[in-house]
Amino acid sequence: MKQKPYTSFSPDTDFSNIDHIIIGSGISGLTAAIWLAKAGKKIVVLERHYVPGGFTHSFTRKGYQWDVGVHYVGNLGKDDFLIDLFNFLSNKNLEWEPIGDIYDIVKINGKTYEFLAGKENFTKQLKEYFPNDKIAIDKYLNLIERSNKLGGAFFLEKTFKPILSKSIGRFIKKLYAKYYNKTTLEVIKELTNNEELIAVLCGQYGNYGLSPEKSSFATHALVSAHFMEGAYYPKGGAPEICNKSIETLNTFGGKVYVNADVKEIITEKNKVIGLRIGETFIPCKSIISSVGVINTFTKLLSKKDSEKCAYDLKNTKPSIGHLCLYIGLDKSDKELNLPKHNIWIHESNDLDKNLNTADVKNVANKLAYISFPSAKDPLWNNKHPNKSTIQALSLGSYEWFSKFESLPHMKRGEEYEKLKKDFEISMLNKLYDILPQIKGHIVVTEVSTPLSTKHFSNYENGEIYGLEHTPERFSLDFLRSETKIKGLRLAGQDITTVGVAGAMISGMLCATTILKFKTWKLFKNLKKTNEELLKLKQD
């Protein structure tokens, strides 16, 4: 059996001579770790869960496997920076399968709209659906492009020192505010009053977890453009992202420890001096927290330290949670004619009303997102012949389940199980409407709720997208790579934006604040393999 590239934490583990400790083994933490390790730093990554990877890990039941967070990734064409970054992390050992010419289908009011890969194809198709709105569509796509050009500068500014942030940074924020200070609905309504078109343009809003009436247009622009040239899925499933990254980290001397639940970041005279796992104190001078700003500032730091960092979420809440029905079927995706593309289903054009009137029993009718991981993965049949999987998700409020939060995981009682069953039944009925061929072939089902997310991720409200992507979020000055505590830095989607790409970029930016100008040497060698980099060091 192949040895795991990580090990379980022990109080006897030797942490001497470590340059940087990273809390959290999600993709943002691993990205920061690998950048630093390739620059010659000694790195340790600590993960509270019994497997690493954050939302890139998977789980198995009765011979079936499902991913928990990665359903598709965009911007992975041969000339895209993101593919270079994935190759940098995985030593070019991570392969991607295109989802196809159609990456998403949006269904509203019984009508179907295809999202085609490639901006030209996407635009042409959209104009065929809405021939009277061609000018509005062109203006919309132009706004997305202009917003995203400034978005790159806005996130880079998060690495600036105070003197630059107060000068150049202030100018960048002022320009970008034109896009992030308005909601998605406000911006699009300035272009068209066609409610059907507005609903279609916002049909993927579940990717950032906030309806058009509340979400920042800047976030909508980033996510929409991310997939516009096409979407991809990792061959072998999402765990390959984590596994290949950890192998690279190990190659450069870094280590990942699981079952390492950090309880406290300890400071003295406004400097990091170490952290505590259980009763074990580990001295260190540099920590990167990639476990979310709420966890960092309310659970790991003292109130005094949080106040020192100007942590304030009076006007910004955690994002919404989600419900997911995991399904295992007794025939292959080819036999069942399951598609690669994702399907979004909305009850009506009023996406905000749909969500605002949802409860656990009807939310599957209000909003449903259907993903087909086995169909997307060309390697699935090698390990799981004559089987297939579906994931059917909807957004779900933590408050629906909060009364059960004090009960143990997997033992929350009959009332909780009934709520899960209510969701399962309603979601299955939705699936049977669009995929009647799966009826009679479902052999395994499991439902996760925001409480499940809280149990595994430690997010207080079971959120999957960190802080809500509202206009207010973009004005929070403490959402930066460096904090006001010397030796404490932040990575993760809270610092940049939602999703795998946003989290990776945050890890890279965080490492940049440590390496400074040495970062450019890594950029110069971005396309080199691990072996080539090691040879360069020897030479």
DSSP collapsed to 3 states, 90-104:
HCCCCCEEECCCEEE
How many Cβ atoms from other residues are within 10 Å of residue 265's Cβ? 25
Would you say residue 52 lies in a domain? yes
From 201, 228, 255, the end of a domain falls on 228
Name which of 67, 115, 55, 71 is nearest 370 in CA terms.
71
Strand partners of residue 389: 328
Residues 361 and 456 in one domain: yes
Q: What are phi and psi of 442, to 5 degrees?
A: -85, 120
Q: What CA–CA distance (Å, rounded) separates 278 from 301?
A: 15
Encode 30-41: b = buried (16+ Cβ within 10 Å), e = exposed. Answer: bbbbbbbbbbeb
Would you say residue 27 lies in a domain? yes
Residues 224 and 247 in one domain: no
Residues 494 and 455 in one domain: no
Residue 224 CB partners (closer than 8 Å, separation 6+) = 144, 201, 204
Would you say residue 154 lies in a domain? yes
Would you say residue 2 lies in a domain? no
pLDDT of residue 191: 98
Residue 520 CB partners (closer than 8 Å, separation 6+) = none
pLDDT tens, position by position, for the chain (539 residues)? 567 889 999 999 999 999 999 999 999 999 999 999 999 999 999 999 999 999 998 999 999 999 998 999 999 998 899 999 999 999 999 999 999 999 999 999 889 999 999 999 999 999 999 999 999 999 999 999 999 999 999 999 999 998 999 999 999 999 999 999 999 999 999 999 999 999 999 999 999 999 999 999 999 999 999 999 999 999 999 999 999 999 999 999 999 999 999 999 999 999 999 999 999 999 999 999 999 999 999 999 999 999 999 999 988 999 999 999 999 999 999 999 999 999 999 999 999 999 999 999 999 999 999 999 999 999 999 999 999 999 999 999 999 999 999 999 889 999 999 999 999 999 999 999 999 999 999 999 999 999 999 998 889 899 999 999 999 999 999 999 999 999 999 999 999 999 999 999 999 999 999 999 888 889 999 999 999 999 887 76
384: burial class by Cβ within 10 Å (0-12, 13-18, 19+)? middle
How many Cβ atoms from other residues are within 10 Å of residue 167's Cβ? 10
Which residue bears the tokens 């072998």? 236
CATH number of the domain bearing residue 401? 3.30.190
Would you say residue 115 lies in a domain? no
Residues 334 and 452 in one domain: yes
Domain that includes residue 204, residue range = 120-228
Would you say residue 111 lies in a domain? no
Q: What CA–CA distance (Å, rounded) separates 289 from 305?
A: 14
Could you write out the DSSP letters of every residue in 481-504?
SB-SSBTEEE-STTTS-SHHHHHH
Q: What CA–CA distance (Å, rounded) separates 216 from 198?
A: 15
Break the chain down into helix, strand, coil percent, rounded to 5: 45, 20, 35
User: What are the structure tokens assigned to 538, written together?
Assistant: 């020897």
427 SS3 class: helix
Residues 453 and 396 in one domain: yes
202 SS3 class: coil
From 228, 253, 281, the end of a domain falls on 228
Would you say residue 469 lies in a domain? no
Q: What global pTM score does this model have?
A: 0.96
Residues 441 and 318 in one domain: yes
Q: What are the Cα distances from residue 334, in Å, to 51, 62, 217, 237, 331?
A: 31, 21, 38, 18, 8
Helix (H) or strand (E) run with residue 241 in it:
helix 239-251
Please report, to the nearest 10 degrees, the dihedral formed by the alpha carbons of residues 432, 329, 71, 402 taken in order: 70
pLDDT of residue 270: 96
Residues 241 and 216 in one domain: no
Amino acid at residue number 318: P
With contact defined as beta carbons under 8 Å apart, do 22 and 32 qualify? yes
Residues 131 and 219 in one domain: yes
CA angle, 27 as apex, 488 and 144 as ends, to 5°?
Answer: 100
Residues 437 and 424 in one domain: yes
From 202, 228, 254, the end of a domain falls on 228
Report the half-sphere exposure of 329 (CA within 13 A, side-chain side): 25
Q: What CA–CA distance (Å, rounded) separates 343 from 112?
A: 10
Would you say residue 110 lies in a domain? no
Residues 350 and 274 in one domain: no
Q: Roughly how many angstroms between the first and final C-alpha of the chain, as a whole number?
A: 35
CATH number of the domain bearing residue 297? 3.50.50.60
User: What are the structure tokens assigned to 362, written together?
Assistant: 């009807």
As for how many domains the chain has, the answer is 3
Name which of 178, 159, 182 is nearest 169 in CA terms.
159
Residue 303 CB partners (closer than 8 Å, separation 6+) = none
DSSP collapsed to 3 states, 40-73:
CCCEEEECCCCCCCHHHCEEEECCEEEECCCCCE
Q: What are the Cα distances from residue 181, in Å, to 173, 218, 469, 478, 526?
A: 10, 8, 11, 18, 35
Residues 433 and 513 in one domain: no
pLDDT of residue 1: 53
Q: What CA–CA distance (Å, rounded) separates 178 from 489?
A: 28
Strand partners of residue 46: 23, 257
Residues 298 and 327 in one domain: no
